[in-house]
Amino acid sequence: MDELERKTNRLQLTDSTTGTSGSSKGKQRATRVSDEELAWTLYRQEQDDEKLAASMAKRSLSSREVQTARDYEYALQLQNQDAEVETENAEVPGRYRHFQRQADFVTRELHTHSDPMAESSAQAAKRAAQKVPPKAAACVTCTDVFAWKELAEAPCGHAYCRECVSELFRNAMTDESLFPPRCCRQALSVDKMTPMLGEDLATRFSTKAIEFSTPVRTYCHDARCSAFIPPSSITGEVAKCPECRKRTCTMCKAARHQGDCPQDAALQQVLEVAQGEGWQRCICGRMVIHGGACDHMTCLCGHHFCYNCGRKWKTCRCSWFNERRLYERAAEIVDRDPIPPRQVAPAAPRAVRIEQVATRLTANRNWWMEIDIEIEVDVEEI
């Protein structure tokens, strides 16, 4: 029976009772109850029983529903989920949905009879949810529960309180095996954690991160300092300490010194090869490989020196050219053009032509131009 039929029957019973009570006066015994009056009395008793049962069920369901809502909200907080207690369109446990359906039935029944009633179970649940403290979660390290504004969230979703995340970063600064600080194998960003760490700790960690990220590190040679020297403070093989301003050799890790570092293994190998090949080195440190005859060399740095002895140009008694290199240069020129163009007579033997080229080169001392470290170029032959 729907609500409209119930209201219609109620009005009919009311009209019937009114008419019966008016027409029955004086027509029957006072102790006798008519059928209409008996039906109305039974209906009112049934209605009162129904309201009483509904009220009792409402109170029982309301208390259990509120407790279930609170338990569910607390469980969501511990699982770091965004929980809002809603009675509609919410994913809740099956038991909670069962209670909700019963509460909705009681509410509809009470509305059907249009009797005053207390707040519904849905309203009670919403009111209980409003009393739940702000969104919170437990720290994954100490397990204490904090409000979200007091927690730092890792990329994996775990939350850390201020003290625990600071301890995590401090340990990573002192133990390189713990660097970078991680949670579930995912690195924690110092930029995102700065509000929790504070500016001082975040700055010190960023400086330490540069040190741990440098493959070949240089530290100040002064034992009283021993500060890390970042790559930005290194020029060539000299590192300037940002703390005490002293300079350290990056090769031997000792104080800066003049000349080549004996600990530079690669340089020592180059010097051994240069000595065997007869290469010469400029005072600026560049290695010069010369294949021509003239011993006058001009380095990129502007220094003029004798390729034979390495001294400054015109300060030695060395010959201006090397005979062996002269003939090597002449042979290169001959081999570059083995058959002279437009020559009517047969070409002279190679040895004769080499001698002719060497004589011509010797006669003119300005016949070429040297290029810093690789090769000289003959002006006449280009």
Please, what is the average pLDDT of the chain? 72
**Looking at residue 103, what is its pLDDT?**
60
Percentages (nearest 5) of helix, strand, coil residues in the chain: 45, 15, 40
**Looking at residue 110, what is its pLDDT?**
53
Q: Indicate the range of 33-37, 43-47, 202-206 predicted with least confidence.
A: 33-37
Calculate mean pLDDT across residues 86-106. Answer: 54
* Most confident by average pLDDT, 17-21, 30-34, 145-149, 373-377: 145-149
Q: What amino acid occupies position 27?
A: K
**Looking at residue 317, what is its pLDDT?**
77
Q: At what angle do helices 350-363 and 323-336 cross, to 10 degrees?
A: 120
Asked whether 60 and 68 are in contact (CB, 8 A), the reply is: no
* Residues ≥6 apart with Cβ < 8 Å to 352: none
Between 20 and 267, residue with greater pLDDT? 267
**Looking at residue 379, what is its pLDDT?**
32
Find how far residue 286's CA is from the centre of its chain: 43
**Looking at residue 125, what is its pLDDT?**
52
Reading the block at residue 74, the tokens are 């607390």
**Looking at residue 87, what is its pLDDT?**
44
Considering the chain, what percentage of its residues have pLDDT values greater than 90? 21
Query: Given a cut of 60, is residue 36 above it in pLDDT?
Result: yes
Superfamily of domain 138-212: Zinc/RING finger domain, C3HC4 (zinc finger) (3.30.40.10)
Nearest to 382 by CA among 309, 340, 333, 324: 333
Positive or negative torsion for Cα 210, 212, 216, 219 = positive
Give residue limits of the domains in the chain. Answer: 3-19+34-132, 138-212, 266-378
pTM exceeding 0.75: no
Asked whether 327 and 340 are in contact (CB, 8 A), the reply is: no
